[in-house]
Structure 1
Amino acid sequence: MKTSEIYGIKPTLEALHANQTIDKIFVQKNIKNEGLKEIIHLASEQHIPVSYVPVEKLNKLSKNNNHQGVFAKISPISYVNIEDLLENSFSKKEDPFFIILDELSDVRNVGAIIRTAECTNVDGIITLKQGGAAINDQTVKTSTGAIFNIPICKVDHIKDVLFYMDSYQVQTVAATEKTDQSVYEVDFKKPTALIMGSEGRGVSKNALQMAKVKAKLPMLGETLSLNVSVACGAILYEMVRQRQS
């Protein structure tokens, strides 16, 4: 069994009581058990997503081991909370830069963004507890280990993050085609949080409404959009260019 995966009622309960960073718990459908009830209760308290799946799914996840109706995925990293991320970042510099991942679903895109973010001295990555790609072994691999060198924060709602950013006077910039403003017109020398949207829908409606700035990359060919990790990298290096000039 991989260290990033646990199954069985007792090991899962022990992980929950020890406040291990669990990404997701899979529970067998239509099964009643006091231990499973406690697992579901603790998961709810700790805001850990729970999926109810058929026994065949659990058999596959656990490779037919004695899962007792439950399987959990442990995150390979530890997370920071949003308050500590902002406090620590501003204690080190006057112009921190953050990336907010708004419902990205592809772990390889997330890993690629983390790799470029670490290379460009981004101060932290903020992603969703639910509705976004899990931080798993594939994310670690795609980031080539950069994920261990940059703070990662998981939150319940993007809007809460944007309120925090406002309170710290961090400009929030949504990367979107729904604007006439180019990223080259944005002042990235200010404390900034760049919002990158999902692969299919882009930045969510609520985040677009709350963002202080909307900006896009120029598209000069026939293709209408870039891969999100490529777009993020292009914007990050515009930030680097401005801050080194």
Structure 2
Amino acid sequence: MSEAELIWGRNVASAALKGGRSVNKGLLAMGSHGRTVAEIRALAREMGVPVEEIDRRRLDQLAQGANHQGVLALVAARQYVEVTDLLVQARAARQDPLLVLLAHVEDPRNLGAIARSAEAAGAHGLIIPARRAAGVTGTAEKAAAGALEHLPVARVGNLAQCLQRLKGEGLWAIGADMAGEQLYFDADLTGPVVLVVGGEDKGLGTLLKRECDLTVRIPMLGTVPSLNAAVAASLLLYEVVRQRHVRGRA
């Protein structure tokens, strides 16, 4: 893993500065302005982070054509956490754990979008494979709109073993599957839960599906066969939120 990495986007850079991540340098396109840019300048000045204005075409090259909004930052490489840390965080808050395990999601934009929904829904962390899947790259950070500065991410070598361990800790493993046993809004999601979301092409796979306590499906009433992984994850996350809210009012 490299010692530093580039992130881009106004909200992403602002979240990195606010979240206390080690920021080595800020890069702004010449002539950049606006409230968020002014906030980035002020935060960088307060933290002693140098900011350089450079030609927008150079920013385009550094961001490899991504929509950087005129802002890049050179930051310390992401520190992944252990799965145990996610459980400790939930229990310290006296909350039932809510985790999301991604099974071979290869598009970093989907990873980022899922992270954004997970953080907004109050999830305690994201679990991703160490190999053959998207990691937390600049593209993922941009799609997450700053959420990855607040949502801890664990990487594991064996997803099936990770699920076994989480089930041993009392979590209910709920897999999203097109042929799921129940409609997702009929499942009881009020307790400690790890939501298992498959990749764009492979889905959950036989092994992970077997490790799930329950598979749920989202009703598809039109002609398209399935939803984007990020959309499916968002629906499941907010069904957990809804059910816990109702339980809390009971």
TM-score, normalised relative to structure 1: 0.69
- In structure 2, C-alpha distance between the alignment counterparts of 1:163 and 1:97, rounded to whole Å: 16
Q: Indicate how the Cα distance of structure 1 residues 109 and 225 shifts in structure 2: closer, same or farther if over 3 A, else same.
A: same
Report the counterpart of residue 146 of structure 2 in structure 1: 145
The answer to whether the aligner puts 1:211 opposite 2:212 as a matched pair is yes
Amino acid at match of 1:188: L
Q: Indicate how the Cα distance of structure 1 residues 192 and 75 shifts in structure 2: closer, same or farther if over 3 A, else same.
A: farther
Amino acid at match of 1:83: T
What's the % identity of the aligned pairs? 29
The answer to whether the aligner puts 1:93 opposite 2:88 as a matched pair is no
- In structure 1, C-alpha distance between the alignment counterparts of 2:136 and 2:86, rounded to whole Å: 18
Deviations 1:133-173 (A, max 9, x none): 12111111110110010110000010121121111110000
How many aligned residue pairs are there? 178
- In structure 2, C-alpha distance between the alignment counterparts of 1:167 and 1:153, rounded to whole Å: 18
Q: Indicate how the Cα distance of structure 1 residues 137 and 75 shifts in structure 2: closer, same or farther if over 3 A, else same.
A: farther
Report the counterpart of residue 195 of structure 1 in structure 2: 196
Deviations 1:15-48 (A, max 9, x none): xxxxxxxxxxxxxxxxxxxxxxxxxxxxxxxxxx
Runs of 5+ unmatched residues, structure 2: 7-61, 63-74
Q: CA deviation at 1:2?
A: 9.8
- In structure 1, C-alpha distance between the alignment counterparts of 2:85 and 2:181, rounded to whole Å: 35
Q: Secondary structure at the match of 1:4?
A: strand
Report the counterpart of residue 240 of structure 1 in structure 2: 241
Amino acid at match of 1:203: L
- In structure 1, C-alpha distance between the alignment counterparts of 2:151 and 2:222, rounded to whole Å: 34
- In structure 2, C-alpha distance between the alignment counterparts of 1:241 and 1:190, rounded to whole Å: 12
Report the counterpart of residue 155 of structure 1 in structure 2: 156
- In structure 2, C-alpha distance between the alignment counterparts of 1:166 and 1:237, rounded to whole Å: 22
Runs of 5+ unmatched residues, structure 1: 6-60, 62-73
Q: Which structure 2 residues correspond to residues 159-178 of structure 1 after superposition, within 5 A?
A: 159-178=160-179
Does structure 2 conserve the Cα–Cα contact (< 8 Å) formed by 1:176 and 1:214?
A: yes
The answer to whether the aligner puts 1:111 opposite 2:104 as a matched pair is no
- In structure 2, C-alpha distance between the alignment counterparts of 1:92 and 1:118, rounded to whole Å: 15
- In structure 1, C-alpha distance between the alignment counterparts of 2:3 and 2:161, rounded to whole Å: 34
- In structure 2, C-alpha distance between the alignment counterparts of 1:76 and 1:243, rounded to whole Å: 35
Q: Which structure 2 residues correspond to residues 44-83 of structure 1 after superposition, within 5 A?
A: 76-83=77-84
- In structure 2, C-alpha distance between the alignment counterparts of 1:194 and 1:139, rounded to whole Å: 20
- In structure 2, C-alpha distance between the alignment counterparts of 1:2 and 1:194, rounded to whole Å: 31
Deviates more, 1:92-101 or 1:210-219: 92-101
- In structure 2, C-alpha distance between the alignment counterparts of 1:75 and 1:199, rounded to whole Å: 30
Q: Indicate how the Cα distance of structure 1 residues 98 and 178 shifts in structure 2: closer, same or farther if over 3 A, else same.
A: same
Q: Indicate how the Cα distance of structure 1 residues 75 and 139 shifts in structure 2: closer, same or farther if over 3 A, else same.
A: farther
Q: Secondary structure at the match of 2:155?
A: strand
Q: Indicate how the Cα distance of structure 1 residues 2 and 98 shifts in structure 2: closer, same or farther if over 3 A, else same.
A: closer
- In structure 2, C-alpha distance between the alignment counterparts of 1:233 and 1:75, rounded to whole Å: 29
Does structure 1 conserve the Cα–Cα contact (< 8 Å) formed by 2:98 and 2:125?
A: yes
Q: CA deviation at 1:75?
A: 7.7
Q: CA deviation at 1:3?
A: 3.3
- In structure 2, C-alpha distance between the alignment counterparts of 1:237 and 1:191, rounded to whole Å: 15
Amino acid at match of 1:212: D
- In structure 1, C-alpha distance between the alignment counterparts of 2:94 and 2:108, rounded to whole Å: 30
- In structure 2, C-alpha distance between the alignment counterparts of 1:3 and 1:170, rounded to whole Å: 35
Q: Indicate how the Cα distance of structure 1 residues 167 and 180 shifts in structure 2: closer, same or farther if over 3 A, else same.
A: closer
Q: Secondary structure at the match of 2:182?
A: coil
- In structure 1, C-alpha distance between the alignment counterparts of 2:222 and 2:94, rounded to whole Å: 39
Does structure 1 conserve the Cα–Cα contact (< 8 Å) formed by 2:3 and 2:76?
A: no
TM-score, normalised relative to structure 2: 0.67
